[in-house]
Chains A and B, each alone.
Chain A
């Protein structure tokens, strides 16, 4: 069958552009691009040689306290929601006292309560946040008591 196609190829006039019906090379190229894109994470991570995530460091104060607003597992996955709710209650309703399910009483304040214990932002907040690519904007407004005034202004 191929011979025949070639035969008619050869007999065609030079002025005429012949179009081969084999478009396989384009299809293969398309497949390579597709597979390349699909497996992008594999070779990206290989090239970047990313180090495994550094474990979160609890400050001495936090360690000493031994408890947080909610149990640790809930704090890990839902701290952003608590902060958000606290902000809402404090700003809109002027209420500043929070009673946890375990009966402990906290002042709803990021700077004075949370950051009082977790006074190591780089080793505590940022490690996970950078890893999971979640931007925080807490410090856009709030003061971090562990930092100097100048650092806070930046």
Chain B
């Protein structure tokens, strides 16, 4: 709980900084131009540095987790996806892992129950973490793709198509306080928010997950929730001049930034929070987006009896050879009727 609260205070501060700064012309430049550029540079450099750093570590052994039948006798059906013995098998395994979170899909939950025979353990499929994770990641992707309309001119048809499908569900609600109707709601934003709240809820209400959660677990979730909320607010409640926003984002993308004049502070909050997230990625667990591709228990072929894997630092070790063995035990060997090499 302490970790959750400290992180929440940090998020609140990150929200308030641009809220106040948006009223000062110089700080506008900082938040709308300098920080986003810095964030992208830090992200790219940090990301590349991290991955290169990983690649510098050796892969001495081929230790895939084999989660299916090995390739052995010709009449036994081998499972080339869960126990891949070909490159193609590894590619399919990795695709399923990255695109469908296959390992997480296996998730079960353990429970202890009292039966007439006494206490029993039981394991049931637990799909909600997988659903939450899939919803979260795919909606995040859609949200990112939709935002390409601010960075591309002309906007390609595929981006418009994503937005079209994302906005298929129409909601109209009118009241004296607020209205929702136009612009239409985007499902991805709402589901992203809901999924992130679900994932955060697990960390607060599932005792086991709460126990293992660090500030580094609460912070990115809270940050993403804050980003989603600021985005939804901007679309539906505190509307801003989109043309001005796009002029800024296009300016950033073409290295000729212009600071918009009449854009509300909600926009500055949104772009500031996103910059913080982007900047935070290389230093955090969010690097799992790259690390998942490099996990040696998933991305290697399980063919170590078929093909020799080379350990780049394989070194000679001291062994106890047969001669030393026979020297020590020659007499007992002879007494036991065992053949010896030297009499």
Contact = CB atoms under 8 A, between A and B. Distances in A.
Physical interaction between A and B: yes
B286 interface: no
A50 B262 contact: no
Contacts of B44: 35, 38
A30 B306 CA distance: 28
A1 B313 CA distance: 6
A2 B262 contact: no
B153 A50 contact: yes
A27 B309 CA distance: 18
Contacts of B118: none
B318 interface: no
Contacts of B148: 40-41
A28 B149 CA distance: 29
Contact of B239 (A9, A27, A48, A78): A78
Given A5-B311, A21-B58, A85-B181, A131 B241 contact: no
A81 B35 CA distance: 32
Contacts of B247: 53
Interface in B97-156: 148-155
Contacts of A135: 160, 164
Contact of B246 (A9, A77, A132): A132
Interface residues of A, number: 49
Q: Which residue of A4, A84, A132, A134 has the most chain B CB atoms within 10 A of its CB atom?
A: A132
Interface in B158-175: 159-160, 163-164, 172, 174
Given A5-B311, A131-B246, A88 B181 contact: yes
Given A8-B314, A53-B247, A45 B153 contact: yes
Interface string A34-59: 11001011101110101001000000
Interface in B286-335: 290, 293-294, 301, 306-315
Chain B interface size band reads 35 or more
A interface, over-half SS:
helix
Contacts of A148: none
A2 B308 CA distance: 16
Given A21-B60, A44-B152, A131-B243, A31 B174 contact: no
A11 B239 CA distance: 71
Nearest to A25: B55
Contact of A18 (B150, B155, B181, B307): B307
A66 to B, nearest CB: 19
Given A132-B246, A133-B159, A73 B152 contact: no
B340 interface: no
B179 A85 contact: yes
A5 B160 CA distance: 53
A141 interface: no
B312 A1 contact: yes
Contact of B163 (A8, A88, A133): A133
Contact of B311 (A21, A31, A42): A21
Nearest to A72: B262
Interface in B237-267: 239-243, 246-247, 250, 253-255, 262
Contacts of A42: 253-255
A133 B51 contact: no
> What 5 pairs across the A-B complex have the smallest Cβ distances?
A41-B151, A133-B155, A80-B182, A77-B239, A84-B182
22 contacts: A1-B312, A4-B315, A5-B310, A19-B301, A19-B307, A22-B312, A30-B51, A31-B51, A31-B52, A34-B47, A40-B148, A41-B148, A45-B152, A45-B254, A53-B246, A73-B262, A76-B262, A77-B239, A77-B240, A77-B241, A132-B149, A132-B150
Interface of A: 1-2, 4-5, 8-9, 12, 16-24, 27-28, 30-31, 34-35, 38, 40-42, 44-46, 48, 50, 53, 73, 76-78, 80-81, 83-85, 88, 128, 130-135
Interface of B: 44, 47-48, 51-52, 54-55, 58-60, 62, 148-155, 159-160, 163-164, 172, 174, 179, 181-183, 239-243, 246-247, 250, 253-255, 262, 290, 293-294, 301, 306-315
